[in-house]
Amino acid sequence: MLTNFRELDTWFEKEPALLDFKPGPDQWNAHEVLEHISLTNYFLLLIINKATRRALERKKNGHNVVLPGDYFNKFEQIDVIGSKSFGWIRPDHMEPTGMKDMQEIRALLKQQFAQCWYNLSLLQNGEGLLVFTNMSVNNLGKLDIYQYIYFLTKHIERHIRQLQRLQKQFATSMELI
């Protein structure tokens, strides 16, 4: 999580021509990719924050934390999110407009990192296993809070690779000029 958020932050220091570069008419530029990440994080964190409150309440009420035998299989399924495309149409509210100020996006990403870290700090004793929430992406099904945060980081990782491809395409286009 730390590595991915740090990598994202480096993109706010890139030259404006790179940030605005679109390899094709229906493709996103780096600015839009960063905005999309912040939008997706926002909606994932709404779920994570609510689930964290519920998990802490359940722990307080005496629920026991039990690690299912197949627990780590779900993380392997989530790994796909960071590695390749899959058939899933993102909702309109996660589509970037390209109109959001870059410094506002940067501030949001920093706040979102802090929120992820805070949730994890509250769930140090396995409480994140006490609440499961359905994830429709790639038919993942029920995820606990730790898996939701892992999903968020894998989503970022996926788009970091997209940003790196954009940077290479931009460099190639500059060589042709």
| pLDDT of the chain, 177 residues: tens digit per residue | 999 999 999 999 999 999 999 999 989 999 999 999 999 999 999 999 999 999 999 999 999 998 888 899 999 999 987 766 656 667 778 889 889 999 999 999 999 999 999 999 999 999 999 999 999 888 899 999 999 999 999 999 999 999 999 999 999 998 876
What token pair was written down for 49?
A: 């924050």
pLDDT for residue 110: 98
Q: Which residue has the tokens 């805070």?
A: 118
pLDDT for residue 81: 77
- Alpha-carbon dihedral of residues 108, 111, 112, 118, nearest 10 degrees? -170
Strand (E) or helix (H) holding 135: strand 132-135
Instruction: Give dist(CA 132, CA 148) in Å, integer.
Output: 9
**What DSSP designation does 12 have?**
G
Instruction: Give dist(CA 116, CA 54) in Å, integer.
Output: 16
What token pair was written down for 158?
A: 């996926």
pLDDT for residue 98: 87
Give the domain ranges of the chain: 2-12+29-61+69-84+99-176
Strand (E) or helix (H) holding 142: strand 141-144
Instruction: Give dist(CA 125, CA 96) in Å, integer.
Output: 37
pLDDT for residue 89: 65
Instruction: Give dist(CA 3, CA 146) in Å, integer.
Output: 17
Instruction: Give dist(CA 49, CA 63) in Å, integer.
Output: 19
